[in-house]
């Protein structure tokens, strides 16, 4: 039993992000990164070619193997020595990404079904697997977990403003905005300062509202940027303090 747990812990150390001096874990991380990149290559080519099927099979096997190894060692990951660890781990964000990344395997064995063939697009989800192996992205992930509440508040505020602005423009410019969804589209583009110009107000009142929306848009972009930047600098400072200690 002790030998089994020792082996299981070693597998956990290998599949997790490598530490300095662990060449086996480093090689595993490199293999996974290569598998992610190679697995996305078929999406860059139109139609079928002789390399698509072998790439799909090989990368699918690697991702399935990786998923079950991580599930097998999830008690170490979650810090819980019971069957609950496997259940809790299965619903963590990265475990869900891992699961979605292996769903396209079905499209390999059932190519006739158009519905299942659409799952091939889930290969794009594999890009998020790279986040696990990037130190910088892990820092950003920690930052986002800390500031998600103020960011959610900003998002709700922006959403309310977009709806309010769309309601006003829908009444002021009924000829320009035939449906409320058109007004929502214009309001969203304007407040995000990307205004495509395909829909533009014609009346003086409408133009004044557009100017105000554009000005508010500058604040909308600056507010979350400031929140994230401050939290990022705090995280970097905290990590440097730990290293110095």
Per-residue pLDDT of the chain (245 residues; tens, 9 = 90+): 667 778 888 888 888 876 767 788 888 888 888 888 888 887 777 766 777 778 888 888 888 899 899 988 888 888 777 778 888 888 888 888 888 888 776 666 655 455 545 556 667 777 777 777 766 777 787 788 888 888 888 888 888 888 998 898 888 888 888 889 988 998 888 887 776 777 778 888 888 888 888 888 777 778 888 888 888 888 788 777 765 55
Full-model pTM: 0.63
Query: Are residues 89 and 20 both part of a single domain?
Result: yes
Q: What is the pLDDT of residue 48?
A: 67
Task: State the pLDDT at residue 224.
Answer: 84
What are the helix (H) ranges across 103-203?
Answer: 105-109, 114-117, 135-172, 180-191
Q: Which pLDDT does position 108 carry in this prediction?
A: 60
Residue-level pLDDT at 2: 65
What is d(CA 101, CA 124) in angstroms, rounded to the nearest whole number? 8
Last residue of a domain, one of 84, 105, 133: 133
Structural domain including 151 reads: 139-244
Do 99 and 33 share a structural domain? yes
- Residue 38 is predicted with a pLDDT of 86
User: Is there a single domain that holds both residue 129 and residue 143?
Assistant: no
48, exposed or middle or buried, with CB in 10 Å at 0-12, 13-18, 19+? exposed
- Whether residue 100 sits in one domain with residue 193: no
Q: Does 78 share its domain with 162?
A: no
On whether both 44 and 156 belong to a single domain, the answer is: no
In a shared domain, residues 51 and 120: yes
Residues 107, 122 contacting (CB under 8 angstroms):
no
Domain count, the chain: 2
Two tokens, residue 73: 């060692």
Residues in the chain: 245
Kind and range of the H or E run holding 100: helix 93-102
Q: Which of 111, 133, 155 is the last residue of a domain?
A: 133
Angle 164-215-206 from CA coordinates, rounded to 5°:
55
**Residue that finishes a domain, picked among 73, 100, 133:** 133
| pLDDT score of 119 | 58
Check which CATH number belongs to the domain holding 191 and give it: 1.10.287.70
């Amino acid at each position: 039993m002790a030998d089994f747990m020792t082996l299981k812990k070693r597998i956990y150390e290998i599949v997790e992000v490598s530490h300095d001096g662990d060449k086996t874990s480093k090689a595993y991380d490199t293999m996974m990164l290569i598998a992610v990149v190679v697995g996305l290559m078929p999406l860059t080519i139109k139609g079928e070619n002789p390399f698509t099927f072998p790439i799909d099979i090989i990368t699918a096997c690697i991702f399935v193997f990786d998923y079950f190894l991580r599930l097998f060692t999830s008690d170490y990951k979650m810090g819980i020595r019971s069957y609950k660890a496997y259940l809790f781990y299965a619903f963590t964000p990265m475990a869900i990404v891992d699961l979605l990344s292996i769903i396209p395997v079905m499209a390999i064995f059932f190519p006739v079904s158009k519905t299942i063939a659409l799952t091939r697009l889930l290969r794009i989800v594999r890009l998020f697997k790279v986040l696990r192996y990037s130190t910088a992205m892990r820092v950003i992930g920690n930052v986002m977990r800390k500031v998600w509440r103020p960011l959610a508040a900003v998002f709700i505020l922006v959403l309310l403003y977009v709806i309010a602005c769309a309601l006003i423009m829908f009444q002021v410019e009924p000829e320009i905005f035939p449906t409320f969804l058109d007004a929502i589209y214009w309001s969203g583009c304007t407040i995000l300062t990307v205004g495509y110009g395909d829909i533009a107000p014609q009346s003086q009142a409408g133009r004044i509202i557009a100017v105000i929306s554009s000005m508010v848009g500058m604040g909308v972009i600056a507010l979350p940027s400031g929140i994230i930047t401050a939290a990022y600098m705090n995280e970097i400072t905290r990590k440097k303090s730990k290293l110095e200690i």
